[in-house]
Each structure stands twice: as structure tokens, then as C-alpha cells.
Structure 1
Amino acid sequence: MMKLEWRKNEKAIYLPKAKPEIVNVSAYQFICIQGEGNPNKPFFADYIKAIYSVAYSIKMNLKKAAVKPQGYIDWTVYPLEGVWDINDTAKKHYNGEINKNDFVFKLMIRQPDFVNATYFNEIIALVGKSKPQNLLNKITFEKIVEGLCVQMLHVGSFNNEAETFNAMETFANTNGYNRLCKTHREIYISDFRKVAENKLKTVLRFKLEPKKSG
């Protein structure tokens, strides 16, 4: 049986080039967890651990199931993604600089179309019994549509993303689009817990709207 591998089958979404491009991202379903604070602090690892434990439990339990859902095919677990913003207080006093303690984030891992909310709830209950974690009740199952976006592969430290975002905004403006909001998405192609900072590969993406004529 074939295997769904995002690195091979969905390069347009997950492996863009290191130059800006316009994309239209369809609706996908995700397991998600929201939080707030500096991702460099120890608590952030607990969020990653919790969401990955559910992602791998979904995959392995379906692989072992005697009766599989219609359309089932084995798959490589999708990469971790994060949508990033700053909290409302920070927005009120924004002066061009961002304090990482003010970050608001939504981490997510995409799920194949044959995984549904009912099965997700069953897995949450199962993981809760076998590997109890305080954050399990924060994990949700959602369908998310990004739509019209600009994206680009960023290579290097997260601290140097501003240069890539500037290139993306310039490209979007030149091609007749405005950035819809300051919220942005990051897709972690590299495991930032294991890969050297200067070699990290991260897809950066944010939503667009066409410029109004006149």
C-alpha cells in the first residue's frame, strides 16, 4: 500500500523555495493547542510534547486498527506548525519592538482527511488513560482555511525572520496585494530541538488581500 508523505506529495505547501511566492491554501484539519508566553522557556516543550503524543497516537492506533476508516492510507506525521501573534496589552503599547513574553501562539499538526472529530475524541480519552498530561484538555480538533497567502522558506535563526518577512511584504505589494493582518504562520521543517540554529528551515506564511483599486 502506498504511503502519504508530505515531503513528496505536497511540496507546494510544505517545501517552498527561499523566495516569496503567492499560494492559495485549501481547508485542512488539524489538532491544535493554544498558549501564551516566551517559547524559549521550559513550558513550551510541554505543549510540543502534548500535541505530538496525540498526533502519533492517532497514527499508530489507526495503523493497528482491524477496521479502518474509508480512504485510509498510512502517512508520515505532518510537521509542527505555529500561528503567532502578540497579546492585546502588547498591541496597545506596540512601539515596533516585540517582547517574546507577549507572544500568543497556536500550535498545530495537520491530520489526513479520513481522521474525524469522533476518532480524535477517542484518542484523547485513550492518551489520557495511558499517558496523563495536564495539557490534553487544551488540545482541539479544527478545520482551518488560510486562503490567499504569501510564503517563503526561511533558513536560519528565528531571530532573523524579519528580513524574510520584509522580502515577502515587498513581493506581495509589488504584485498587487496587502498583508491582511500581522498574525503569521510558521511550519517547522527542521526539528528546532535537534538542528543547529543557522541550519533551521522554516516556512513563513501570512494572509493577503488584493489591493483596492482607486
Structure 2
Amino acid sequence: MTEKIDFKRTLASYRAPRGRFEIIDLPERRYLMIDGHGDPNSEVAADAIAALYPVAYAMKFASARELDRDYVVPPLEALWWADDMDSFTSARDKSQWDWTMMLLMPDWIDEQRFAAAVSAASAKKDAAARIGDVRCESLTEGRCVQTLHIGSYDDETDTLAELHERFIPGQELRMTGRHHEVYLGDPRRTAPEKLRTILRQPVADAGTA
């Protein structure tokens, strides 16, 4: 058996500086994805997350068993957006948020193995209701600005305002894709003030279309 891969250690996208913004370029990557709307603390969001992990673990176990390539299931990530982006900063109206919960897929997992993982997870006696909504999709973010936030998710407001209103315009950039968060801490086991979250925003030159 080869050594288990931990993508948090091998991919630079899982590392970000605290207290400053960093501009990085990210390649196309594939994710397990599931969509939803509303408060991330709601049962709707919990049901979405509960559908992702059985598929991810079925994929991981099959990879180790059939390909001799084992790995640590990567941390949960999410894309966030809203018709009014002020709902993330000044208003903080979570009921208006749209989201896509995601888990990174290793590049050696093909569509056939993804489908087999969905089938295996769905066959479990206690299978999550939304497993059938989990999809495999590529995400190309390109140039991004990111930073590490330590603390409660609700304390991200000042950092996001600094990112959106000052740093990005100050670098003659503009926001393009959806706000992206990477959850390096488990809120079930970590005090809110110690949670570690990468905050990421895709950008482009301000003068480009």
C-alpha cells in the first residue's frame, strides 16, 4: 500500500496567510458538488453536507482497494453568492444566500468511478436523501485573492469588506467568480474562536471585459 495522500499538505490552495491577502493562480479542479439556498446553519445545508460525505468515502475506499491509491478526504468547501452581495457584509442576511457545498476529487477518479461511488452510497440502508443530487463538476477559478480567517464564521464580515471594497480595487482588480470558502476546522469539534477558514475571491484585471 502506498502512502496516504493528504491534499492539505500537497496543494498550495489549502494554505493561506493570516492577516494579509495573497494573489494566487489556481488550475481547473474537479469537485463533488451539491447546491442549496438559505442559512448555512439550517437543516437544508446539513442534509446537503450529509449527502456529500458518503459519496466521498465510497470513492476513497474504492480508490484504495482497486487502484492502491489512498488519500485523506479533503476538507469541506463552499461557493457562496446572492443577488445582493451586501447580504454577506453589511446586512448579513443568511436567508438570501445561495451556495454550493463541495469536496475536492482526486484527478485520477473518472466519471465511471464517481458513478460507482454514488451507487454504493445510495445502496446503504441509511442513505442520505440527497445523494442523488451530488454531481461531479469542474471548477476553474484562475487568479484569486485569498486569506486565512481565524474565528467564528460570523466574524468574517470585516475581512470580506476589506477584501471587496479596498484590497481588490486597490490592486486594480475586479471580482469575477463566486466567493469561495475552505473549512480547515470542524465546527463540531472546534471552538468558534479557533476555526480556520480560507476566504477566496476569484478576480480579473479591472479593465478587462
TM-score (normalised: structure 2): 0.89
Aligned with 1:79 (options 56, 68, 75): 75
User: Is the aligned partner of 1:204 residue 2:205?
Assistant: no
Identity of matched residues, %? 27
Please state how far the C-alpha of 1:9 moved relative to its aligned partner. Answer: 1.1
How far apart, in 1, do the equivalents of 2:134 and 2:88 lie?
Answer: 30
Gaps of 5+ in 1: none
The Cα offsets for residues 62-103 of structure 1, whole Å up to 9 and x where unpaired, read as 2122xx2xxx632111110000112x5x67x99952421121
Give, in angstroms, the shift of residue 180 of structure 1: 2.4
Range moving further from structure 2, 35-44 or 137-146: 35-44
- Partners of 1:35 and 1:44 in 2: how far apart? 7
The AA in structure 2 aligned to 1:8 is R
Question: Judging changes above 3 Å, is the alpha-carbon distance between structure 1 residues 95 and 2 closer, same or farther for their aligned structure 2 residues?
Answer: closer
Mark the CA change 1:159 to 1:49 in structure 2 (over 3 Å): closer, same or farther. same
Does the residue aligned with 1:171 lie in a helix, a strand or coil? helix
Residue 185 of structure 1 aligns to a residue whose secondary structure is strand
1:117 to 111, 120, 125: 111
Among residues 171, 174, 186, which one is paired with 1:175 in the alignment?
Answer: 171
Could you say what the CA RMSD is over the residues aligned between the two structures, in angstroms?
Answer: 2.2
The one-letter code sitting in structure 1 at the alignment partner of 2:5 is L
Measured in 2, the distance between the counterparts of 1:164 and 1:137 equals 36
More strand by share: 1
Amino acid at match of 2:157: A
The within-5 A match list for 1:134-153 is 134-153=129-148
Residue 30 of structure 1 is matched in structure 2 by 31
Distance 2:173 2:88 in 1: 24
Aligned counterpart, 1:61:
62
Distance 2:45 2:77 in 1: 14
Q: Name the SS for the 1:134 alignment partner.
A: coil
Contact 1:152 1:168 in 2 (8 A): no
Match of 2:91 among 91, 97, 100: 97
What displacement does 1:174 show?
A: 2.5
Out of 184, 189, 209, the position equivalent to 1:189 is: 184
Mapped to 1, the partners of 2:93 and 2:206 lie a distance apart of 31
Supply the distance in 1 between the matched residues of 2:187 and 2:154 (Cα, whole angstroms).
13
Instruction: Please give the alpha-carbon distance, in whole angstroms, between the structure 1 residues aligned to 2:89 and 2:146.
Output: 26
- In 2 relative to 1, CA 94–160 (structure 1 residues): closer, same or farther, beyond 3 Å? closer
Instruction: Point out where structure 2 has 5 or more consecutive residues left out of the alignment.
Output: none
Distance 1:39 1:174 in 2: 31
